[in-house]
Amino acid sequence: MTEGATGEPVEERPEADQMIVAEDVKKWFGKFQALKGITTSIRRGEVVVVIGPSGSGKSTFIRTINRLERHDSGRIVVDGIELTDDIRNIERIRSEIGMVFQSFNLFPHLSVLRNVTLAPRNVRRWPRRQAEEKARQLLERVGIPEQADKYPAQLSGGQQQRVAIARALAMEPRIMLFDEPTSALDPEMIKEVLDVMKQLAGSGMTMVVVTHEIGFAKEVADRILFFDEGLIVEEGTPDRFFTEPEHDRTRLFLSQIL
Amino acid sequence: MRPRVNLQEDVDLVGLPLEDERPVEVAPARVPATPGEWIRDNLFSSVFNGVLTVVTGALALYLGYQVLRWILVTAEWAVVKANLRIYMIGRFPLEEAWRVWASVFLVAVLGGLSFGVSGHRLRWTLRKAALRAALAALVVGALVFFLDGPRIWILTGSVPVLLAASLKAGRAGYERLRVPLWIGWGLAFPVVMVLLRGFGGVPPKLWGGFLLNVVVAVVAIFLSFPAGVLLAVGRRSSLRAVSSFCVGFIELIRGVPLVTLIIAGFNLLPLMLPSGMDLALIVRMMLIFTIFSAAYVAEIVRGGLQGIPFGQYEAARALGLSTTRILALVILPQALRSTIPAMISHFISLFKDTSLLAVLAITELLRAARRASAQLEFLGAKKEAVLAAAVLFWVVAFSMSRWSQRLERRLGVGER
């Protein structure tokens, strides 16, 4: 791998190039084993799309990356820092990882602008002016600068999700995680959110996206991870993955969704 | 009227369209043209409804007549008039009464400014104007009747004047006043305490009447609120010791009648305090009411916390916010807003519960009223004496209720 698909220059030291390294990550919910040993690594600037049937562990996996779920065994190293129980470490890593949820999870009591400035002001300790300037740039970037003073409930789903993306970007993260970002949206609003994500991918952001949007995966992903029953069954470039999948399970899944 | 500079913001705050006085448009159906038609449509639309109208009308007239006759003719209000000072301040010495007046004025000014800053204004429609005029006439009449002499008329009369003037000033000062006002409210309580007690003031054991009810309730409300929030949060703590303590405290206090706690505060608390630490009875009662109220506030807040979707915690966590900041910036603002009705309801009942202090022979308002009616010259005027106390309680409780509705409207912004 000499150059990322996004065209970002690759750094000299290969080990520094790994943004996320997962080694044999396992996770149980009571007796149910959601992750049965996930091993993969994600390069700086890489866009990885995670697909798979529901209950396959794909959401659980990306939620372990910023420790919304604690993994029970194995190792996860994010940008050189291993995830442990040390809460300071976790908060530091979380502030480097932006996350976008299926149900937006905006803070309904705060205006759009304050949703976006909350973390920079309180975690990064930015002065108000700087945080708001950044927030307005980001709202411009996701295409809704005029909504800054509204409240989340006054926006459409697509607008809310774009605010959520701006909110995550406001922390200037090195990694963005997307957990089914378009699944709760009406069809006509999906495109506006995907467009923002494409633009973000084009800017060289390291992204891990759980989604069912095959079009997005084909167009933007550098690599597809296919999850089933807590394991990565198959991975590869979109070209290979969608045209000549190796495993029967993958073929079956693709035949159901395509 | 001067146009408001911040009208738009204000309107957004309330979440109403600009012309909120305009009636909502409905189908242009039957608009009764004359009073006669209105009466026919609304009161006599059928034989049965006509009978109902006549019967309830007669009943209402009869009851109204009886009540009014009692209030205006039969009742002997002299008991209230002669004991008004006991009602309001108990045995607080008359020559020190200026301390109370100064406190009332201070609160009136702060309150008026706050209302003004928060964009409160009187809307004058014909009906509201008539209602207010009637109310004002009633209040002025009652005051002139009950209050002795021009000195007290002027003092009492200056309260609404101060309120109105500072409301106007608050509207003019808007943003500039916001921070000073918070500081003002923060200092108000210590200042009032110094006013009442300080520099040769009146020791708490001489405080009484309505003053006492208000002071105990205000202290309990303002201390139990943060205490209750802490208890509710502590209850959810992952530290076993903390959560057990909170649960134990809440369940213990909630399981005991308030009167028991009051008596415990009278008898037991002095024994539990370190020797040499001698708290005045009133201070101990403030403590008891605070503890009692905190347990209930904690349960109300717990209800609010349970209503917050888990995604809110996750989103806040994913941004790298610390647990404390998540609570303070994301969870509590939402949880507390949803608890306003229950919270104010609890505070209203707490305020009325201060009349239970009568069991300790403390001359709060209710006991003051009963003592007044026990005086030889007013024997038989118990109804009048107690009713007057009830009206005072009602006025304050009703104001709290109205204020909470306002608060809800103001904070109901962008609710999902």
Mind listing the pLDDT tens digit for each residue in A138-175? Answer: 999 999 999 999 999 999 999 999 999 999 999 999 99
Residue B411 to chain A, least CA–CA distance (Å): 9
Q: Which of A101, A151, A152 sits opposite B311 (nearest CB)?
A: A101
pLDDT confidence of residue B18: 43
Task: Indicate if the pLDDT at residue A65 is higher than 60.
Answer: yes
pLDDT at B121: 61
CA B45 from chain centre, in angstroms, equals 42
In this predicted structure, the answer to whether residue A136 has a pLDDT above a threshold of 80 is: yes
Contact between B308 and B415 (Cβ < 8 Å): no
| Distance from C-alpha of A74 to C-alpha of A33, rounded to nearest angstrom | 14
Question: Bridge-partner residues for A50, per DSSP?
Answer: A210, A225
* pLDDT tens track, chain B, 416 positions: 444 444 444 444 444 444 444 555 556 555 656 778 888 887 888 888 889 989 999 999 999 999 888 888 877 787 888 788 888 888 777 778 788 888 888 888 888 888 777 766 666 778 888 888 888 888 888 777 777 777 777 788 788 888 888 887 777 777 777 788 888 888 888 888 888 887 777 777 778 888 889 989 999 999 999 999 999 999 988 889 999 999 999 999 999 999 999 998 888 887 777 766 677 888 889 999 999 999 999 999 999 999 999 999 999 999 999 999 999 999 999 999 888 889 999 999 999 999 998 888 888 888 888 888 888 887 777 888 888 889 889 988 998 888 888 888 777 644 54
B319 and A171 in contact (C-beta within 8 Å)?
yes
Helices (H), B47-148: 47-69, 78-89, 97-117, 126-146
Q: Which residues contact B165 (CB under 8 A, 6 or more apart)?
A: B112
Is the CB of residue A111 less than 8 Å from the CB of residue A151?
yes
Residues of A in contact with B413 (CB under 8 A): 109, 151
In angstroms, rounded to a whole number, what is the distance separating the alpha carbons of residues A98 and A93?
10
Tell me whether residues B329 and A66 touch, CB distance under 8 A. no
In the stretch 24-63 of chain A, residues with CB closer than 8 A to chain B read: none
The minimum CA-CA distance between B247 and chain A, rounded to whole Å, is 26
Classify residue A48 by its DSSP letter: E
Distance (Å, whole) CA A57 – CA A51: 10
Positive or negative: CA dihedral B306, B311, B315, B318: positive
Q: Does A112 touch chain B (CB under 8 A)?
A: no
Tell me whether residues A94 and B333 touch, CB distance under 8 A.
Answer: no
Q: Does A156 contact B at CB distance below 8 Å?
A: no
User: Residue A95: closest CA among chain B residues belongs to which residue?
Assistant: B320
Distances (CA, A) of B266 to A201, B180, B222, B260, B359: 70, 39, 22, 10, 10
> In terms of CA atoms, which chain A residue is nearest residue B413?
A109
Helix H segments across B198-280? Answer: 209-235, 240-254, 258-272
Closest alpha carbon within chain B to A89 = B320
**Residue ranges per structural domain of chain B:** 94-202, 203-416
Residues of chain B neighbouring A152 (CB-CB closer than 8 A): 414, 416
Q: Which two tokens stand for residue A34?
A: 């959601």
Residue A10 has what DSSP assignment?
A: P
| A106 inside 8 A of chain B by CB | yes
Q: For residue B412, what is the nearest residue in chain A, using CA coordinates?
A: A109
Query: Containing H/E element for B345?
Result: helix B340-353
What average pLDDT does the segment A191-206 reach? 92
Whether A163 and A155 have beta carbons less than 8 Å apart is answered as: yes
Q: Where are the alpha helices (DSSP H) in chain A?
A: 58-65, 87-96, 112-122, 128-141, 157-169, 187-202, 214-220, 238-243, 248-257
The Cα angle at residue A228 between residues A226 and A234, in degrees rounded to 5:
35
Q: Do A151 and B329 touch (CB under 8 A)?
A: no
Q: Which of A91, A101, A153 is opposite residue B320, by nearest beta carbon?
A: A91
**Mean pLDDT of the region A59-80:** 92
* A108 vs B: CB within 8 A: yes
* Structure tokens, B32: 């009764």
Contact at CB, B414 and A91, closer than 8 angstroms: no
Q: Which CATH superfamily is domain B203-416 in?
A: MetI-like (1.10.3720.10)
Residues from B in contact with A at Cβ < 8 Å: 12, 309, 311-312, 314-322, 325, 329-330, 333-334, 337, 413-416
Instruction: Mark yes or no for CB contact B415/A108 under 8 Å.
Output: yes
Tokens of A111: 């205006």
Strand order in the sheet with A81-82: A32-43, A18-29, A73-78, A81-82
Give the residue among A170, A176, A226 at the shortest CA–CA distance from A201.
A176
In the prediction, which pLDDT does B326 show?
94
pTM: 0.80
In the numeric block, which tokens belong to residue B320?
């790298």
Pick the residue of B313, B319, B322, B416 with the most A CBs within 10 A to test the interface with A by mutation. Answer: B319
Question: Between A67 and B81, where is the model more confident?
Answer: A67
Q: Dihedral of CA B49/B52/B57/B60: which sign? A: negative
Contact between B220 and B265 (Cβ < 8 Å)? no
Residue B90 main-chain phi, psi, to 5 deg: 65, -130
Q: Mean pLDDT in chain A? A: 89
> Do residues A186 and A106 touch, judged by C-beta distance below 8 A?
no
Burial class (CB in 10 A: 0-12, 13-18, 19+), A148: buried
Residue B414, pLDDT score: 44
Complex-level ipTM: 0.88
pLDDT > 80? residue A88: yes
A101 in contact with B, Cβ within 8 Å = yes
Whether the CB-CB separation of B358 and B367 falls below 8 Å is answered with: yes
- A256: distance to nearest CA of chain B, Å? 30
**A3 min Cα distance to partner chain B (Å):** 30
